[in-house]
Structure 1
Amino acid sequence: MCGIFGVLNTNNETKVSYDKLLTCIQLQYHRGPDKQQAEIINPYVGLAHARLSIIDLSDHANQPLHYGSLSIVFNGEIFNYIELRNELKGFGYKFTTESDTEVILASFIQWGVDCVTRFNGMWAFAIYDKENGRLFCSRDRFGIKPFYYTLHQEDFLFSSEIKSILEYRPELRKPNYQAISAFCHESVGAENIETWFENILRLPPAHNLVLEKGQLSISRYWDYPVTAETDISDDEAFKTYKEIFLDAIRIRLRSDVPLGATMSGGLDSTSIVCSVDKIFDTRIDAYTASFGGGATDEYDVVKKLKEDGFDFISNKVEVQYDDFLKDLKDIIYLIESGHSSPAVFPLSKVNKRAREKLIVILEGQGADELLGGYIHAVFMDHFFDLIIKGQLKKALKELKEFRKQWSLKSSILMFGRYNLPFWARTLYRKWSKIDRVYSGELVKYSKKSFKVPKIKYSKNETRLNKLLKEQHQLGLLKLLHYGDAVSMMHSLESRLPFMDYRLVEYAFKLPSNFKIRNGLGKFIHRKIMEDILPDYITNDKRKIGFDTPIEKALAENNALRNILLNGTIYSRNLFKKEVVKQFLEETIAKKHNHSTLLFRILTVEIWFKLFIDQEQHEISKLKSSTDIRDNQIA
């Protein structure tokens, strides 16, 4: 995992500045502390790379890497690079490194732009061919790795982080109020093609970009399956799914540096860690966030797994929020936008601690959106699917099982939230008086305020599958965005077995009863893990997220309240002070909880301070801090 940056002058008139190129990539030092390198490929093309060495640690694998007339900068990992390498050797290719980067170049020579359909991994890369002046760029299927770009005054710039683009072209440091408004009103984030900066865009997931003779073209190379496996037995489905899942883990264990995992007490991350132990006979470090005990603290489950004979090194990370504002600034600096989920705090703490020993970490991200893990949000769609099919008895049985654990009222509200049209959601916000907090540019909000790639549905697709596609292509992108930023903040590579494209394709082809059965989500995954995990994991119906005491922080942290009530925030004419003050007082007095909205407003103001006002900021260094105590069980 690394950082990339490049500049191409499309009319061959303005030469690339080597000094600026190098400065821009050095801003991504946290993404690649092992080597930052810039090269002028020709006077009008410059490529730069910040390397975090994972595969082939030698200097020969530094980037930009060259193969004939081709030069590449690459961020990510191609996990099936060994298989591709062996296949390419059969075509006569001679490799000079052991890196997956060279495999990409050889694949591009052999198969052209279609090479990306053969890759199993996460990537954002750019290949420049100096013979024909053609630039080919690609982003992985699900948007795990970021790719930002702009075409400005005949310069095409691309980067893993926007701050490098701003350093090369400071005049682009202008807020995109439409994107900011979409975030404030409906938490639209990384699924939006537009960023928080005018004219700086995201390459959408599963898309290629070609720049040739000044012409830019973008095309989709992969999409979710539209056909379903309608006639498949449990045994066949379980066998195939398990084979794919375990192979997804196997190829993600490939590393020339120390590797471990994050681990909650939940099904997803526990499946990974315990499979590594029982199936691959490998003992790894596992890191668990702890919040001082209580119902939302899952460390007791991890400790019980150790007692039951699972062999991993358990690292307890006790999370505190003494430096809440400093941590939040660090995170916003890396995310380069606001963020609506305070779960970034404990994730950052866990990653920071893991980096003391590891460089690669496995995580369970992506299972919920794939298999109906957010059961309270998707159950009603599954219920109506059964009703539409005439399976009334089965629908009522599912409803009975669901209500043993979850609130039907809550599920109905979530159903309405997902299915309300845009005009109805707007009407609700006005009725609830939430929108009265906004002023100026943020009042202007419509469907045109954000751009999201269109989701394709098949004619007979179930309501549940449609909703899961939305979650996987929209909501999950926000989590992947901050997951990448927060892991890279600590120079740590995050790998996600549940994002293996083979697993995604297979799961979306399966009938709904493999995702939800007996009122439980992730049914097929629970079943295939029964011979590895104990019942208290596979049958656990809880869904516990990270505990983040935002209300407490707002009540006790004077610096946070000062940002919300004073200073520059109101000179921007984006929020109404009297309404923010009212919402804050009601939250502190526990009359009404506005903490989610207040957290969004807080992140917006911090973003303006960091990126528009250019407040001086340096991200935290890679060392343990006093809020993380050393607790390890070997």
Structure 2
Amino acid sequence: MCGISGFNRQNENAIKKMVAGQRHRGPDDQGFFVDEKVSLGHNRLAIIDLSPGGRQPMISSDGSVQLIFNGEIYNYQSLKKELLSLGYVFNSQSDTEVILNGYLAWGLKVLEKLRGMWALAIYDRKKNQLILSRDFFGVKPLVYYLDGEQLIFASEIKTLIGQLKGLELNREAYAFYFGLGYWPAPATYLKNVYQLLPGQILIYDFKNRQANFQTLDFFGPPARAEYLSDEKVLLEKLEEVLTESVAAHFVADVPVALLLSGGTDSALLAVLAKKAGFNPLAFNLEIFGKTDSTYARAIAQKTGLTLKPLILEKAKMDRLSEEVWELLDEPFADTAIFPTTVLFSQVAQEAKVVLSGEGGDELFGGYLRQRQYLGKIWRGKSGSMVEVLNQLAAGENLFSQSIINPFLKRCSALSPDLVNQYLETTALAHLPNLRPALSGFLRKFYKSYPAEAHKNLPLFFDRYLYLPNDLMYKGDISAMHFSLEVRVPFVDKMVWQFANRFISPEHCFSKKYQGKYLLKQILLKYLPADLVFRKKEGLSFPLLQYLTDKMFAQLKAAIDFTLTEAGDLGLKPTLLRRLKNDGYLKLFIKKYPRFVFALLANYKILEKYKNHLNLTK
């Protein structure tokens, strides 16, 4: 895991500044390459091959190709054997050199052979091209600035901002942020600054000074689903695939730890890690009012793992909040960033790599809302009745927000339309003026994916929208702030291809619609039922309970800022004025904590980078 940066011009001082700005992503080493066309920089967090042989940028034997790479490739050893048989020579034990020689052997087809997480840049002198690529699931971030002929890229937006002045807000995209709480790729909150899409390749041609895009073929040609109806066979094969994935994610030359929340996903990682012969140190974060830690201790005892308990304390929230604002580089409304930051800050003191259960909910149906999507259908547009109900639920007074709007929302949820149901269950707040833009975006997003991705319709948006743009961003930005690599065995090429091919939508739930049915059936082989079947909690964060006086004052400043400084971000001024009332604001915090946090996060980030932004209305 590392940090990469670069641009399509010669400037040694600028690339050194970018590398210095990403030192937290790779404190073990740094490297540069500069010629008349390109400048490349790399920060190294040494995980595989700790020797100088793994240094980057890495150059091919003939000097024609330079590579910088952030991530881990779990099948690099098998690919290396294949390349050795073709006559390629290796000077290191790193996965980076496997990608480099693989590119020489197969061109961009090497990317379809990779199993892992990555964001990388390849400078090919012979082809006169600069190539950027991001992994299939968007585990690793890659952002870029593209305006005319100028291309700048990095692992984090904050690194780009340091190179730019007078950036404009991407006001049209704020409907996504205040509607969903994150920025769906390729959008960011800044004009001309983009996220490379998961599985996307950007090819910049130095001759014509233009960028073109390709998409990796992950799903393959359309094929009939081969759902396994024999549950015993399905469970045996699924456990085999998951165990192999967990084992692959332990490939490292440093110790690998484990996050053990006490829930289904982390518990399964724990038992499969033991089954595969590993004994990782486990970490658990105790959050006030939650029982997860009790289950985590019991699971650790059953599996024989050493558990290190960590505590989220309200007394440290002011200091913690400043840490969060320091690491974030875009407005982000997932309040779980607080406990995630606490967790990773302490894990990083004892480990360099940690396994996380992220992806289990999205792949195997762990959210209550997904069970509500069973039987929903895809429609090209909203029904007229839904639109009428949304407009009726536009009241902003206390009575409307507490009584009328929730009732009308429940009526709207009766619609058979998947997009409408998804918005009703995931939107930060009921904001009818944002609904047309959100609905239109989701329908366009759905059509941008091949038919193979639509097989499990109830999980589609969580798999391909929420997972990469919220969960993967949160995990990377918070962990890498502390030089910690997070690996996600569920978000694995082989696991996802198996699930997409053999697991039916109905098999994600039991007949009583209990989420992650298959995973729990596997767990029952190793743990007692009382540790398997329990209410889901996770790292959700009770914002109102942890809101300090300082944070409340900052929140009120955020409302004023949004009204007077930020200009038109798609929110009604009447709503913002109502939020200036303490009673109304506390009601909103209780009912829509993520929306209120979205206001605060936007304010803190725009204030942080105001010298680089043009905030004129």
Residue 170 of structure 1: how far off its partner (Å): 2.8
**1:380 and 1:27 mapped to 2: Cα distance?**
44
Indicate how the Cα distance of structure 1 residues 200 and 130 shifts in structure 2: closer, same or farther if over 3 A, else same.
Answer: same
Indicate the residue corresponding to 2:402 in structure 1.
none
**2:577 and 2:51 mapped to 1: Cα distance?**
59
Indicate the residue corresponding to 2:253 in structure 1.
256
CA contact (8 A) 1:178 1:444 kept: no
Q: Does 1:4 align with 2:4?
A: yes
3-state secondary structure, aligned to 1:497: coil
Indicate the residue corresponding to 1:268 in structure 2.
265
Indicate the residue corresponding to 1:234 in structure 2.
231
> TM-score scaled by structure 1?
0.82
CA contact (8 A) 1:21 1:168 kept: no
Deviation readout 1:425-459 (Å, 9 max, x if unpaired): 8xx999x6x468xxxxx999677889857443549
From 173, 197, 208, the equivalent of 1:204 is: 197
Indicate the residue corresponding to 1:291 in structure 2.
287
**2:132 and 2:467 mapped to 1: Cα distance?**
23
3-state secondary structure, aligned to 1:456: coil
Indicate the residue corresponding to 1:581 in structure 2.
580
Give, as a single letter, the amino acid of the residue that structure 1 aligns with 2:485: E
3-state secondary structure, aligned to 2:310: strand
CA contact (8 A) 1:252 1:495 kept: yes
**2:93 and 2:265 mapped to 1: Cα distance?**
32
Indicate the residue corresponding to 1:321 in structure 2.
314
Deviation readout 1:437-490 (Å, 9 max, x if unpaired): xxxxx999677889857443549966xx12312210011121111111111111
**2:4 and 2:27 mapped to 1: Cα distance?**
13
Indicate the residue corresponding to 2:50 in structure 1.
57
Q: Does 1:513 align with 2:506?
A: yes
From 84, 88, 102, the equivalent of 2:83 is: 88
**1:591 and 1:530 mapped to 2: Cα distance?**
39
**1:36 and 1:559 mapped to 2: Cα distance?**
41
Give, as a single letter, the amino acid of the residue that structure 2 aligns with 1:511: S
Deviation readout 1:484-521 (Å, 9 max, x if unpaired): 11111111000000011111111122223321123222
From 599, 602, 617, the equivalent of 1:601 is: 599
Indicate the residue corresponding to 2:464 in structure 1.
473
Give, as a single letter, the amino acid of the residue that structure 2 aligns with 1:280: A
Q: Does 1:27 align with 2:25?
A: no
Indicate how the Cα distance of structure 1 residues 215 and 429 shifts in structure 2: closer, same or farther if over 3 A, else same.
Answer: closer
CA contact (8 A) 1:569 1:605 kept: no
Indicate the residue corresponding to 2:296 in structure 1.
302
From 169, 173, 179, the equivalent of 1:179 is: 173
**2:604 and 2:373 mapped to 1: Cα distance?**
38
Higher alpha-carbon deviation: 142-151 or 360-369: 142-151
3-state secondary structure, aligned to 1:255: coil
CA contact (8 A) 1:286 1:315 kept: yes
Give, as a single letter, the amino acid of the residue that structure 2 aligns with 1:8: N
Q: Does 1:377 align with 2:369?
A: yes
**2:300 and 2:510 mapped to 1: Cα distance?**
30
Indicate the residue corresponding to 1:37 in structure 2.
31
Indicate how the Cα distance of structure 1 residues 566 and 132 shifts in structure 2: closer, same or farther if over 3 A, else same.
Answer: closer
Residue 423 of structure 1: how far off its partner (Å): 14
Residue 32 of structure 1: how far off its partner (Å): 0.7
**2:242 and 2:257 mapped to 1: Cα distance?**
18
**2:180 and 2:435 mapped to 1: Cα distance?**
15
- Counting matched residue pairs gives 565
Give, as a single letter, the amino acid of the residue that structure 2 aligns with 1:5: S
Indicate how the Cα distance of structure 1 residues 573 and 585 shifts in structure 2: closer, same or farther if over 3 A, else same.
Answer: farther
Residue 346 of structure 1: how far off its partner (Å): 0.7
Residue 284 of structure 1: how far off its partner (Å): 1.4
Indicate how the Cα distance of structure 1 residues 299 and 429 shifts in structure 2: closer, same or farther if over 3 A, else same.
Answer: closer
1:104-119 maps to which residues of 2 (within 5 A)?
A: 104-119=99-114
3-state secondary structure, aligned to 2:8: strand
Residue 556 of structure 1: how far off its partner (Å): 3.7
Residue 410 of structure 1: how far off its partner (Å): 10
From 154, 160, 164, the equivalent of 2:149 is: 154
Indicate how the Cα distance of structure 1 residues 377 and 199 shifts in structure 2: closer, same or farther if over 3 A, else same.
Answer: same
3-state secondary structure, aligned to 2:91: coil
Higher alpha-carbon deviation: 510-519 or 256-265: 510-519
Residue 258 of structure 1: how far off its partner (Å): 2.2
Residue 613 of structure 1: how far off its partner (Å): 4.0
**2:280 and 2:228 mapped to 1: Cα distance?**
39
**1:590 and 1:215 mapped to 2: Cα distance?**
47
**1:453 and 1:443 mapped to 2: Cα distance?**
16
Deviation readout 1:321-343 (Å, 9 max, x if unpaired): 33435534433443422222111
Give, as a single letter, the amino acid of the residue that structure 2 aligns with 1:600: A
CA contact (8 A) 2:185 2:196 kept: no
Q: Does 1:126 align with 2:124?
A: no
**2:121 and 2:56 mapped to 1: Cα distance?**
11
Indicate how the Cα distance of structure 1 residues 342 and 208 shifts in structure 2: closer, same or farther if over 3 A, else same.
Answer: same
Q: Does 1:364 align with 2:362?
A: no
Indicate the residue corresponding to 1:400 in structure 2.
none
Q: Does 1:498 align with 2:501?
A: no
Give, as a single letter, the amino acid of the residue that structure 2 aligns with 1:116: L
Give, as a single letter, the amino acid of the residue that structure 1 aligns with 2:4: I
Residue 535 of structure 1: how far off its partner (Å): 2.0
Give, as a single letter, the amino acid of the residue that structure 2 aligns with 1:187: L
CA contact (8 A) 1:123 1:144 kept: yes
3-state secondary structure, aligned to 1:244: helix
Indicate how the Cα distance of structure 1 residues 424 and 35 shifts in structure 2: closer, same or farther if over 3 A, else same.
Answer: closer
CA contact (8 A) 1:332 1:338 kept: no
3-state secondary structure, aligned to 1:204: coil
What is the RMSD of the two structures over their aligned residues, measured on CA atoms? 3.2
CA contact (8 A) 1:49 1:64 kept: yes
Indicate how the Cα distance of structure 1 residues 566 and 324 shifts in structure 2: closer, same or farther if over 3 A, else same.
Answer: farther
Gaps of 5+ in 1: 10-15, 386-408, 437-441, 616-634
1:489-568 maps to which residues of 2 (within 5 A)?
A: 489-509=481-501, 510-519=503-512, 520-540=514-534, 542-554=535-547, 556-557=549-550, 558-564=552-558
CA contact (8 A) 1:422 1:447 kept: no
Give, as a single letter, the amino acid of the residue that structure 1 aligns with 2:278: T
From 322, 331, 338, the equivalent of 1:338 is: 331
Deviation readout 1:239-274 (Å, 9 max, x if unpaired): 221111011111110111121011111110111122
Q: Does 1:355 align with 2:341?
A: no
Indicate how the Cα distance of structure 1 residues 566 and 289 shifts in structure 2: closer, same or farther if over 3 A, else same.
Answer: same
1:615-626 maps to which residues of 2 (within 5 A)?
A: none
Residue 100 of structure 1: how far off its partner (Å): 0.4
**1:62 and 1:82 mapped to 2: Cα distance?**
18
Give, as a single letter, the amino acid of the residue that structure 1 aligns with 2:31: Q
Higher alpha-carbon deviation: 453-462 or 160-169: 453-462
**2:452 and 2:109 mapped to 1: Cα distance?**
28
Residue 530 of structure 1: how far off its partner (Å): 2.6
Q: Does 1:282 align with 2:297?
A: no
Residue 131 of structure 1: how far off its partner (Å): 2.5
3-state secondary structure, aligned to 2:295: helix
Deviation readout 1:128-183 (Å, 9 max, x if unpaired): 11223112221100100111122235222111112222222334x32211222321
Residue 597 of structure 1: how far off its partner (Å): 1.8
**2:125 and 2:410 mapped to 1: Cα distance?**
56
**1:176 and 1:508 mapped to 2: Cα distance?**
35
Indicate how the Cα distance of structure 1 residues 460 and 245 shifts in structure 2: closer, same or farther if over 3 A, else same.
Answer: closer
CA contact (8 A) 1:190 1:481 kept: no
**2:52 and 2:607 mapped to 1: Cα distance?**
39
